[in-house]
Structure 1
Amino acid sequence: MDTKLKNRHKISILLAILVVISASSIMVALYPYFKNESSRYKEPVYQQQTFLKYLVYGNYVLSMEQARNHKGDMISPFQFFFPKAADEMKSQTEETLASEESGQTENIVTDDNSASEIVMESNVGENLSRTDYLAHLRQITIRKYDNWKSGFDSIRNSMDYQVLNEKGQVISDHSGGSVIAGNDKYVFQTVLQYDGLGRMEVVSIHGENSAKILTLLQGFGEKDPMMDDYWDEYLYEEDLRLQNPKNLTISYGLTTEQITAFKDTANGFTNNYDDSESIVKILVGLVCAVAVLAFFLSFLDVTLPDSSRMFRTPFEIVGGIGCGGVLFGAGLTNLVMTTNQGNLFETLLRANFLPGIAGIMVKLWNLLWWSIPFGVVYWGVLCLRDVLRIGIKRYLRERTLIGWFCGWIKMFSIKTYHFVGNINLRDHSDRAIFRIVGINFFILAVLSSLWFFGIGSLFFYSIFLFLVMRKYYRDLSGKYSALLKATNQIAEGNLDVAIEEDLSIFEPFKREIQKIQSGFKVAVDEEVKSQKMKTDLISNMSHDLKTPLTAIITYVNLLRDERVTPEQRKAYIDILEQKSMRLKSLIEDLFEISKANSNNVTLNLEDVDIVSLLKEVSLELGDKIEESTIDFRWNLPDEKIVLPLDGQKTYRIFDNLLTNIIKYAMPNTRAYIDMKKEDGFVVICLKNVSAAELTFNPNEITERFARGDQSRNTEGSGLGMAIAKSFVELQNGKLIVEIEADLFRVSIRWPVE
């Protein structure tokens, strides 16, 4: 990525941050407006659901207090609201204590009453479960009562109330002695009456929106506040249900001053910021503005999604997170209310922050939370904007979970198809068959779980399976035809035929046919090479043998001439001897190479010091070396190097190679003979500059009848290098010929044991 593109990405991210911070700052700046709007929608406290719920719960608290005052001793909530359950629990406890005191803690079991024992154990298990439930119910009742009392205590001192008995007499007064019912000084008043069965009735209501208040009070009065805490097996036992107050009437009243006191406190029971809807309206407007800005600013850097995977999130996830971000922003009304009421500021002051710093931290805290929904919206638009760049089809395929799933299904189907098509028929087939059956079982199991819809799905699956099998059969038939065609062409002698396409399950046959082709080609090449060598044998040997034979015949005829002087006769005889020795050498070399190639050579292996052997050969060829004017440079180790070799054959190797240098090296140049140990091998390297231009292949020079002198004017059979290579290889070595310009180099490697 170049620097210009990186800078463009940075600018795009910076613009996004500025837009998000600007939108968040607007929301924070509008906090005073939200406060004014919320005050217009703040309903009276007596119309609020939480207040009315605490009011009904207060009936249980007041009845409990009256019971304690009447009895003059402490009575637990469990005893008051569940009297029969409390008595049952008390009797169970007394029976347990009596059983422990009498020592009856063992179970008496006899053979005659085994059935009775089973029934007794069953009853014991049931009693234990009921005892556990009673203990659970007792704990829940105490906890619930504490919650009711806590809620009622939060409002009881801010209103007037009276408790009356069944005769209408005031038995508890918290109104200063004035009658609440029908008193005009109370803006809100209600009378709740419980009959002898504990049913609550709203006798009277006075106040604004009385229909709503009546509905809420009646709903709370008819609902058992402990319904969610009963166990299912004891849900319908009346003795284990909460007992409402009976034959009791409670009156509540709120004056204008008391309602104002409730309004001025921060401990309201509803969020009037939600009721005003001003925050949500402004939030929606800013969200739309951020989305529009994000859309147009995205044209400044259309390749931004390529720089980060975060901007290539699937559509479904973007939509889910975007909606969640907007809903999160709508839920920040509590943050606005808490900030406007000064709770955050007071908390920071109590933490010993300076007022100025506390004010800044409150604003930064609000900016942080508001930046979340706007940042999510901006990010979502950038993700969705890419649909214009890559196209709707590619976007649906690459940027949606459904597209990914469809792509996965497609790839799975293709892999399954290729898996079935690439089964190796030479392998054991049980595993392949098991996989195919397993896949089919999985598909059928899924279809069977669809019940009625599974029949229709099975129908479409059968059609799909038919189409797949037909395509597979046709592909298989075409691949078989291609394989058959290739084998016919090979049978007709076309060894260069190539099978390019994939043959599926016939792929192993394709590889075997290619091996057969390669084998045939090697055999044909070897045969052609052999025929060529035979031709070379005839042509080269006829030329090399004809020359000395012609000379012998010529000089024999000259010897028959009676006019030949004794001196001439002696010279002719020397030439005849020379030519016959040349003919003998040619025939011996031919026999040597023939035996070497047929592995008919007998090696007499012995410990040979190849350093001394090479020196011995150089001494034998000393006269020829001096006549050649070639400067031989020897670099041989001082210590012995002993190898298990055939001394005679090794001597012949060195003799042929040194003789080859003497014959074909350029006069008045240097030749280098090096010997050293290297990586477990003895390496002997002979280098010289050729007198003639080296135009041949270095691999051909070691073949039979190959000569550096292509005109064959120099002496030699063309078998020297071939014999040397054959003898080296027979003794587990390797001879390599290399050419670099006019530099001719021969390397021999023998392993050191």
Structure 2
Amino acid sequence: MDTKLKNRHKISILLAIVVIVSAAAVMVGLYPFFKNESARYEEPVYQQQTFLKYLVYGNYVLSMEQVRNNQGDIISPFQFFFPKAAEEMKNQTEETVAAAETNQADADVQEGAIENEITVDLSESNSGTRSEYLSHLRQKTMRSYNNWKNCFDSIRNSLDYQILNENGQVISDHSGGKTILGNDKYEFQTVLKYDGMGRMEVVSIHGDNTARLLTLLQDFGDKDPMMEDYWEQFLYEPDLRLQNPKNITITYGMTADQITAFKDTAAGFSNTYDDSDSILKIFVGLICAVTVLAFLFSFLDVTLPDSSRIFRTPFEIVTGVGCGGVAFGAGLTNLVIVTNQGDLFETLLRANFLPGVAGIMVKLWNLLWWSLPFAVVYWAVLCLRDVLSIGIKRYLRERTLIGWFCGWLKMICIKVYHYVGDINLKEQSDKTIFRIVGVNFLILAILCSLWFFGIGALFFYSILLFFIMRKYYRDLSGKYRVLLKATNQIAEGNLEVSIEEDLSVFEPFKKEIQKIQSGFKVAVDEEVKSQKLKTDLISNMSHDLKTPLTAIITYVNLLKDERVTPEQRKAYIDILEQKSMRLKSLIEDLFEISKANSNNVTLNLEEVDIVSLLKEVSLELSDKIEESTIDFRWNLPDEKIVLPLDGQKTYRIFDNLLTNIIKYAMPNTRAYIDMKKEDGFVVISLKNVSAAELTFNPNEITERFARGDQSRNTEGSGLGMAIAKSFVELQNGKLFVEIEADLFRVSIRWPVD
């Protein structure tokens, strides 16, 4: 991974951290706003469902207490709320069955006794099940009543209440002698009446939002609080259902002072922040903002998923974790409540932290927890955004668990298919094995049907099978020796070996050996060609370097002559400069082709408009083109063709090819330079008529030191075409040379995205 790409990854991660922390900081910074919103939307305590439920529980507690006061003795909640069930449990006795007399009863009597015994056993079984249920119901009643009493006791001292009989007379007063019904001092008051059937009715209600209060109280009154404790088989027996209070009316009232005092002391009834939906609305808005920013910033570094597997997590996992992160953030309301109420701050103070340090820790703690859902959402967007980079088909195939499973299943099916498909009964080996197995199966089936005589037949069959297998083995050994002999001869250098025999199961190896022979021949030819190129390199390089070097030595000696005039000296120096630059060009070309052939060239890829670049090269060579008297015909597209290329190397390609036309084309002829797109490639074609007869192989013209001018009278180095081809291939292109009579054509093909 290059430095530029690493820096881009670092910037992407830094932007992600900034977005996540900023979103979390916004949530923490809005805590005072949430606190004000909660106070603005706060409802009176008597409107809360928990308070009204405890109020209905109080009806059961007060009626129970009133019965105990009236009767003067202790009565259990089970006896009061389930009187018939308690009576049944009290009167329930175990029945015993006398054993039938075995000595005096005849068969009929014994049969009748057995029937009676079965009946008694069944009766005892049913009675035992009911007895267990009554015991269970008694325990649940005691626990439920204790729970009702605890709940009602938590609100009892913060309200006034009175109990009235069926005639409307007060039989129990806990209001200090005040009348509750119709008293303006009570901000909240209600009258709950139970008729003779135990049905509760909300007779009167007073307070804010009376419709809601009436609905909630009536719903709680109609609901059996012990419904979940009943067994299904006894669910519809009226005697085993909770009996509500009867012929009693209970009035409740709360003054403003009682409401305020209850609010300050009853922490369990604190108002939640969800009432105004402020937290959830702002959290959802920030989630949307983080999603948009994550999507936009992802375009700055589209290769980030390739750097880490965490960004290539399957779609199903990303979706599940993302939804879980959003749900987790939506559930952080309690953190806001605890923080704004100061509970978290007080906890740190009790842990001996300084107030300043505790305040910073509270903010950091909240910042950390709010960062988690935003980080999860940011990560999920980066994972899902990759569908735009690799395409929906590839994403479904590579980034989903279903795609992985389908790919694995497809691979298994392909392996099974190929395995079964490889059994080709047309092939001699498979056909032979199949026949042997089939014949052997039939013989063994026949021998097994002979029972005892089959043992002897199996003995002779085994001897016969041994001789057949030995003959087959020896035949295979002979064919193997033929194959081994041929490979040894090839290893010794004899590439003309031919195998005429039928090798049976080794027949595929004969074809492979023939391929090896062909490959060795090609390698030998390539080696001979390489040796020839090395020889040409030495001779051609010696000739091309010796010519300017000889001239340099000659003119240096002439400059040493004191009789040389200033005009001659200046001419000699010009020639020396020309020859030294020629020598420098030859050496530079040699280095270029050496680096290109060894893949030691560093490409600086960038977006290059090859149309403009070719025009720029032609402009640089305009003087030489005019001097050459060659008519260049340009057929270039009007629009840009941008490719990821090395601009300097591509410039050198065009320069070499155009210079080649100027040097070797016939004067007063036309040269055609065309550029077009076809089949996903950009094709550049350069055509000219050669001045000399084209007698060389077009494949050799791009080799090192190969020249169209075999006499080597021109100033070419023989490296121009080789350098051009190497630079084209280094940039994922292809260069072709074609010859037709005296027409010389060079074609370059580069893929276009």
TM-score (norm 2): 0.54
Which residue of structure 1 lines up, in the alignment, with residue 249 of structure 2? Answer: 249
1:223 aligned partner, one-letter code: K
Query: Hey, what does 1:78 align to over in structure 2?
Result: 78
SS for the counterpart of 1:189 is: strand
Q: What's the offset of the Cα at 1:526?
A: 7.2
Cα shift readout 1:409-461 (whole Å, capped 9, x = no counterpart)? 4234324433xx4xxxxxxxxxxxxxxxxxxxxxxxxxxxxxxxxxxxxxxxx
Cα distance in 2 for residues equivalent to 1:108 and 1:37: 86
Amino acid aligned to 2:359:
G
Aligned letter for 2:387?
V
Matched, 1:277 2:280: no
- Offset at 1:280? 1.1
Gap change, CA 1:14 and 1:84, over 3 Å in 2: same
Residues in 1 aligned to 2:415 and 2:352: alpha-carbon distance in whole angstroms: 67
Correspondence for 1:398? 398
1:25 maps to a residue whose letter is: A
Number of residue-to-residue matches in the alignment: 443
Q: 2:147 corresponds to which residue?
A: 147
In structure 2, the CA distance between the partners of 1:9 and 1:73, relative to structure 1 (3 Å rule), is farther
Residue 472 of structure 2 corresponds to residue 522 of structure 1:
no
**What is the correspondence of 1:657-736 to structure 2 with a 5 Å cutoff?**
none
Hey, what's the Cα distance between the residues in 2 that align with 1:375 and 1:526?
70
Q: Give the counterpart letter for 2:324 in structure 1.
A: G
Give the structure 1 partner of residue 635 of structure 2.
none
1:47 paired with 2:47, answer yes
Contact kept in structure 1, 2:100 and 2:113, CA below 8 Å: no
* 8 Å contact from structure 1 (residues 187, 256) kept in 2: yes
The CA deviation string for residues 29-65 of structure 1, in whole angstroms up to 9 with x for no partner, is: 1111001011111122222211111111111111111
1:289 aligns with 2:289: yes
Q: Is the 8 A contact 2:84 2:240 kept in 1?
A: yes
Question: CA 1:515–1:23 in structure 2 vs 1: closer, same or farther (change >3 Å)?
Answer: farther
Alignment of 1:123-142 (within 5 A): 123-142=123-142
Q: CA deviation at 1:147?
A: 1.6
1:296 to partner: Cα distance? 3.2
Q: Is the 8 A contact 1:314 1:401 kept in 2?
A: yes
Tell me how far 1:238 sits from its aligned partner.
1.1
Which residue of structure 2 aligns with residue 113 of structure 1? 113
Structure-2 residue corresponding to 1:355: 355
Matched-pair contact (CA < 8 Å) for 1:314–1:400? yes
* 1:494-526 per-position Cα deviation (integer Å, ceiling 9, x unaligned): xxxxxxxxxxxxxxxxxx999979844734997
- 1:328 positional shift: 1.6
1:336-485 alignment, distance < 5 Å: 336-418=336-418, 421=419
Shift of 1:257: 2.5
Residues 57, 152 of structure 2: 8 Å contact kept: yes
* Distance change >3 Å, CA 108–CA 329, structure 1 → 2: farther
Aligned partners of 2:314, 2:62: CA distance in 1, in Å? 59
Q: Please tell me the residue identity of whatever aligns with 1:291.
A: T
- In the other structure, the counterpart of 1:645 is none
Q: 1:336 to 1:105 in 2, by over 3 A?
A: farther
Cα 1:521–1:54 change in 2 (3 A) is closer
Residues 266 and 341 in structure 1, CA contact (< 8 A), matched pair in contact too: no
Query: 2-side partners of 1:327 and 1:406: how far apart?
Result: 31
Q: How does 1:188-337 map to 2 (within 5 A)?
A: 188-265=188-265, 267=267, 269=269, 271-337=271-337
Q: 1:236 to 1:521 in 2, by over 3 A?
A: closer
In structure 2, the partner of 1:697 is none
Give 1:350 deviation, angstroms.
Answer: 3.5
- Contact conserved, 1:9 with 1:301, CA < 8 A, in 2? yes
Equivalent AA in structure 1 for residue 414 of structure 2: I
Q: How does 1:734-749 map to 2 (within 5 A)?
A: none
Instruction: Sort the Cα spacing of 1:351 and 1:113 in 2 relative to 1 into closer, same or farther, 3 A.
Output: farther
- Whether the aligned pair in 1 keeps the contact of 2:424 and 2:430 (CA below 8 Å) is no
Task: Tell me if structure 2 keeps the 8 A contact 1:37–1:278.
Answer: yes
Secondary structure at 2:267 match in 1: coil
Conservation of the 8 A alpha-carbon contact between 2:27 and 2:370: yes
Larger radius of gyration: 1
Residues 1:179 and 2:138 aligned together: no
Deviation, structure 1 residue 281: 1.5
Task: Give, in whole Å, the separation in 1 of the partners of 2:244 and 2:136.
Answer: 20
Query: Which digits, 9 at most, give the CA deviation of each residue in 1:685-723, with x for residues without a partner?
Result: xxxxxxxxxxxxxxxxxxxxxxxxxxxxxxxxxxxxxxx
What is the distance in 2 between the residues matched to 1:34 and 1:295?
A: 29
CA distance 1:121–1:9, shift in 2 (3 Å): farther
Contact (CA 8 Å) 1:50, 1:270: kept in 2 or not? no
- Closer/same/farther in 2, CA of residues 162 and 266 from structure 1, 3 Å limit: closer
Asked whether the 8 Å contact 1:49–1:269 carries over to 2, the reply is: no
Counterpart code for 1:344? L
Structure 1 residue 209: Cα displacement: 1.7
Percent of pairs identical after alignment? 70
Moved more, 128-137 or 258-267: 258-267
| Aligned-residue offset at 1:4 | 6.4
In 2: Cα distance, 1:149 partner to 1:242 partner: 16
Give 1:376 deviation, angstroms: 0.9
Partner of 2:65: 65
CA distance in 2, matches of 1:526, 1:90: 107
Give the C-alpha shift of residue 527 in structure 1.
Answer: 12
Kindly tell me: are residues 227 and 410 of structure 1, through their superposed partners in 2, closer, same or farther at Cα, counting changes over 3 Å?
same
> Higher mean Cα deviation, 183-192 or 259-268?
259-268
Aligned counterparts, 1:11-26, within 5 A? 11-26=11-26
In structure 1, the partner of 2:170 is 170
Kindly state the Cα deviation for residue 478 of structure 1 after the two structures are TM-superposed: 9.8
Aligned partners of 1:271 and 1:334 also within 8 Å: no
Q: Is the 8 Å Cα contact of residues 305 and 312 (structure 1) preserved in structure 2? A: yes
Flag the 1:513–1:155 CA change in 2: closer, same or farther, 3 A.
farther
Deviations 1:318-344 (A, max 9, x none): 122212211221121121112111222
CA shift, 1:13, in A, is 3.6
Q: Return the letter of the residue paired with 2:275.
A: D
1:25 and 1:367 in contact (8 A); partners too: yes
Gap change, CA 1:271 and 1:375, over 3 Å in 2: farther
Q: Please give the secondary structure, in 2, of the residue aligned with 1:177.
A: coil
Q: What amino acid maps onto 2:382 in structure 1? A: L
SS in structure 2 at match of 1:178 = coil
| 8 Å Cα contact 2:97-2:120 kept in structure 1 | no
Matched, 1:158 2:158: yes
Which string of whole-angstrom CA distances, capped at 9 and with x for unpartnered residues, describes residues 254-304 of structure 1?
222233334445636474411211111211121122222322333444333
Distance (whole Å) between structure 2 residues aligned to residue 241 and residue 524 of structure 1? 96
Q: Map of 1:590-669 to 2, 5 A cutoff?
A: none
Q: What are the equivalent positions in structure 2 for 1:482-631 lying under 5 Å apart?
A: 519-520=478-479, 522-523=481-482
Once residues 99 and 158 of structure 2 are traced to their aligned partners in structure 1, the CA distance between those partners, rounded to angstroms, is 60
For residues 162 and 25 of structure 1, what CA distance do their matches in structure 2 show? 53
* Counterparts in 2 of 1:395 and 1:114: CA distance versus 1, 3 Å: same
Query: Equivalent residue of 1:225, what SS?
Result: coil
Structure 1 counterpart of 2:154, one-letter code: S
C-alpha displacement at 1:15, in angstroms? 3.8
Tell me: CA distance 1:37–1:481, structure 2 relative to 1, closer, same or farther (3 Å). Answer: farther
Whether the aligned pair in 1 keeps the contact of 2:290 and 2:377 (CA below 8 Å) is yes
The question of whether the paired residues in 2 share the 8 Å contact of 1:329 and 1:373 is answered with: yes
Is the Cα contact below 8 Å between 1:41 and 1:272 reproduced in 2?
no
Whole-angstrom CA distance in 2 between matches of 1:21 and 1:29: 12
Shift of 1:152: 1.4
